[in-house]
Structure 1
């Protein structure tokens, strides 16, 4: 299926595996790329040397295009961009809108720039700065998310952006791909669906928790870092929502200390990153620290398997996913469903 996305990045199928921290490592990205979709490394939880090693590992396993997701507000974003340019990465995606300077530097190095956006005005801004395409995530998407449903947000961005648009939030099958194409998108991006594959390195107990979840078990809370965050409801989330400011601060300091030890970051660096993630919000110091060490809360679940003590970012589609196919099986299934859906539509006789 050829679209503006497949032409832009050189993949066979208009499907994107999003750059999830602690989840989108070399194994998942390689499997996605080999299946003909665009895999994106989640680099926010990697140090620069780890990022370079991960890029080289993927390149040693496949010669197909893949991308790297960056935090645009990270203090070392320029260094990471340099690594991507040096290693010949095909695509750069961003969880937040990158600066005009970062976009220019990447494009000068031949890297395709695809920021993620949650509003029409953001898409218009990065398009004016030279972005090649955008991923637009509706409220159904996992992790940090907005309040506007994909079915309302997507056509707005398609009409305004003037560049290829990839739809995210609520997609898991071929019917969704056809719906996104009908809205004018050039493809779909999926996080939770790729997390729940046999190629994902997420612990079995965590995958089981996702598969057991209903749509009602996926909630949105701002108690993790002060911003709306869609995730599975876990004992940790329930406790955080019930804690006062003092309890939140105690939890934040404990988790921040663990993340500081793991990442090698200083306390000033952690606080600076937390403040950068505030986006003008009136956050408590506990929330600032939690914002800085959210990666540690994700690691507790996604790496350590602590379903009782971590954050499990999840799109609403977690409530309708019931199996763990390989990436190859998933991509093949989605594309077959899309073709079947298109054939079904063309078979209808429309009466004026």
Structure 2
């Protein structure tokens, strides 16, 4: 393997290859996380949609499936974040991954227990903030990425973030092969993080008919909309997305209230915690009250699509990269393919230097 493929991220995470499988709600369960870890990458278990008890069980199950290091993704602004962090510490987890920056005291607690802290960002200023808080690495996702996303393209975001922080940067948004890994290294990143590419593997528990729905789409079928919860996110263009975009305010109000009730039941969150979380979201993320009310729409509609397989009633988060994918390899096959292609590209770029 080309020496450039052994990056600071490998040592930081304790993995063979600088490839991260992101923590995708309803998708990154113990099976996918463990399969990625066994293949030499960093698998990240998604727990934002799980109760604390379910999180503990998922961590234990992942450890049963693999002896390799893995990460757990959680929300830094969750009312029970401190309790959940104890689950990671007690469970012997290697990496704590956050989509939103946790308080400094929680990062310090994780560091004291020997965990690595990784935060996902979509802007330079966010990278600077989490690095100042003590994050050990950042995942910088450009606008091509799936789910909630920003307006800045990956090719513009990466050099900004790499120049702004002194910690390893993982590139996300549009990556799926070895050429992309080499491109990320050229930007100064320490590896890549992929979501949609890992969703579309044979190890993913997403229903087969939903995977086929992804594979049949082109790049033009993947759009950014704020119709789901008032915040821009990238999803497959479906009839459900069209209906939501055309829905009136009353329809949205009723749907949001119903989804809030459903999310409380699924997540085990108490009503007072939901209200407190809503207030924190409005203050910390500068959301309107309408956006706060709509926030429960995303997890419940993603569950309908990605867990229940109801393409007609759910929504399907997707990076643009889905439009160029046409197969469902195992995680082992995928990572081996990415690494082999990256090795070939690097050696073709500088054959004399490598041979010397």
TM over 0.5: yes
State whether structure 2 residue 304 is matched by structure 1 residue 280. Answer: no
Where structure 2 has 5 or more consecutive residues not aligned to the other structure, the ranges are none
Q: Which residue of the partner structure matches residue 338 of structure 2? A: 334
Aligned counterparts of 1:319 and 1:277: Cα–Cα separation in 2: 32
**Post-superposition CA distance 1:86-112 (Å, at most 9, x none):** 111000110111211111111111000
Alignment of 1:291-330 (within 5 A): 291-330=295-334
State whether structure 2 residue 269 is matched by structure 1 residue 250. Answer: no
Q: Which moved more, 1:306-315 or 1:28-37?
A: 306-315
1:8 deviates by 0.6
Residues 288 and 128 (structure 1), Cα distance of their counterparts in 2 relative to 1, 3 Å cut:
closer
1:275 deviates by 4.2
Aligned counterparts of 2:23 and 2:266: Cα–Cα separation in 1: 20
1:267 deviates by 3.6
CA contact (8 A) 1:103 1:130 kept: yes
CA contact (8 A) 1:234 1:309 kept: no
CA contact (8 A) 2:51 2:268 kept: no
Aligned counterparts of 2:67 and 2:185: Cα–Cα separation in 1: 28
Aligned counterparts of 2:196 and 2:345: Cα–Cα separation in 1: 22
Instruction: Name the Cα RMSD after superposition.
Output: 1.5
**Post-superposition CA distance 1:236-260 (Å, at most 9, x none):** 2111110121111122122223223
**Post-superposition CA distance 1:176-202 (Å, at most 9, x none):** 000000000000000000000000000
Residues 226 and 66 (structure 1), Cα distance of their counterparts in 2 relative to 1, 3 Å cut:
same
**Post-superposition CA distance 1:21-63 (Å, at most 9, x none):** 1100000001000000000000101111111111111111211
Q: Which residue of the partner structure matches residue 209 of structure 2? A: 205
Q: Which residue of the partner structure matches residue 178 of structure 1? A: 182
Aligned counterparts of 2:182 and 2:157: Cα–Cα separation in 1: 17
**Post-superposition CA distance 1:90-146 (Å, at most 9, x none):** 001101112111111111110000111111111112112211111111111111111
Aligned counterparts of 1:75 and 1:190: Cα–Cα separation in 2: 28
Q: Which residue of the partner structure matches residue 194 of structure 1? A: 198
User: 1:189 is paired with a residue of what secondary structure?
Assistant: strand
Q: Which residue of the partner structure matches residue 21 of structure 2? A: 17
> Matched residue pairs, number?
347
Where structure 1 has 5 or more consecutive residues not aligned to the other structure, the ranges are none
Q: Which moved more, 1:265-274 or 1:169-178?
A: 265-274
User: 1:201 is paired with a residue of what secondary structure?
Assistant: coil
Q: Which moved more, 1:121-130 or 1:322-331?
A: 121-130
TM-score computed with the length of structure 1 as normaliser: 0.95
User: 2:215 is paired with a residue of what secondary structure?
Assistant: helix
Q: Which residue of the partner structure matches residue 76 of structure 2? A: 72
User: 1:126 is paired with a residue of what secondary structure?
Assistant: helix
State whether structure 2 residue 128 is matched by structure 1 residue 130. Answer: no
Q: Which residue of the partner structure matches residue 32 of structure 2? A: 28
Q: Which residue of the partner structure matches residue 155 of structure 2? A: 151
CA contact (8 A) 1:274 1:292 kept: no
Residues 348 and 221 (structure 1), Cα distance of their counterparts in 2 relative to 1, 3 Å cut:
farther
Q: Which residue of the partner structure matches residue 112 of structure 2? A: 108
Query: Which of 206, 213, 218 is matched with 1:214 structurally?
Result: 218
Aligned counterparts of 1:206 and 1:271: Cα–Cα separation in 2: 33
CA contact (8 A) 2:7 2:18 kept: yes
1:347 deviates by 4.4
Query: Which of 117, 141, 147 is matched with 2:145 structurally?
Result: 141
Q: Which moved more, 1:38-47 or 1:122-131?
A: 122-131
Q: Which residue of the partner structure matches residue 53 of structure 2? A: 49
